[in-house]
Amino acid sequence: MFSKILVICAHPDDDILGCGATLAKYHEKGAHITVCFLAEGSSCRYTKSEIASSQAICAIEERKDAAKEALNLLGVDEFHFYDFPCGRLDTIAMIDLGKCVEQQIMQTKPDLVLTHSTVDANYDHRLTSQAVLQATRPGGVAFVPYVIHFEILSSTEWRFDESFKPNYFEALQERHVEKKIQALNCYRSEIKPHPHPRNEDMLRMMSKVRGSQCNVVYAEAFSLLRGIVQ
């Protein structure tokens, strides 16, 4: 259905958690896939005065290496790191975030943009979603026919005052789910033991739960923000 897919996410590993199995599926179908990371994903673990430290810089580079390894496993064709400060996207003007997204869309010309849900607990995720909404507005220079929100285990379900309401599902094969798990395992520091949701058992379980909601064995769930059939 989609031949050019652009994933706009806040941090390296959000792409895997949110739509990793779907990316593996569309890679098999020959789609061109581009992933864009707005924030670097690691400096939130350091105080403001420590962001420029060698330790923080090393953590950022290690995460980039993990991202490249994971994306290679999924067959992603192209990726970009914008390196805005993790956990501090609210220090960047929304117009600047939106312009980054707009530029990426104009270069990539996707027919589908995948991004974060507006109901995530993580504020960087919500700001990324807003930047995509702003950049892809109808009538704008970076309009895209389809914009779809994904869910992130350990963020989306922790926004207790609002809930993620999936209305679009991608049916998957077991091999797609296993590819997602292999890709996430590249982020060795991000795997947590049960009952934390970020582990192999929970990824498999969630894919089965979402599959049962649409009468297939495995699926990833999304919320369709906008879809235009021409």
Domain covering 4-227 in this structure, CATH number = 3.40.50.10320
- pLDDT band at residue 23 under the 50/70/90 scheme: very high
pLDDT tens column, 204-224: 999 999 999 999 999 999 999
Q: Specify the pLDDT at position 194.
A: 87
Distance in angstroms (rounded) separating the CA atoms of residues 69 and 193: 22
Region 37-46 average pLDDT: 85
pTM score, two decimals? 0.95
Q: Which residues lie below 8 Å from residue 83, measured CB to CB, with a gap of 6+?
A: 39, 40, 60
Domain ranges, ordered by start, for the chain: 4-227
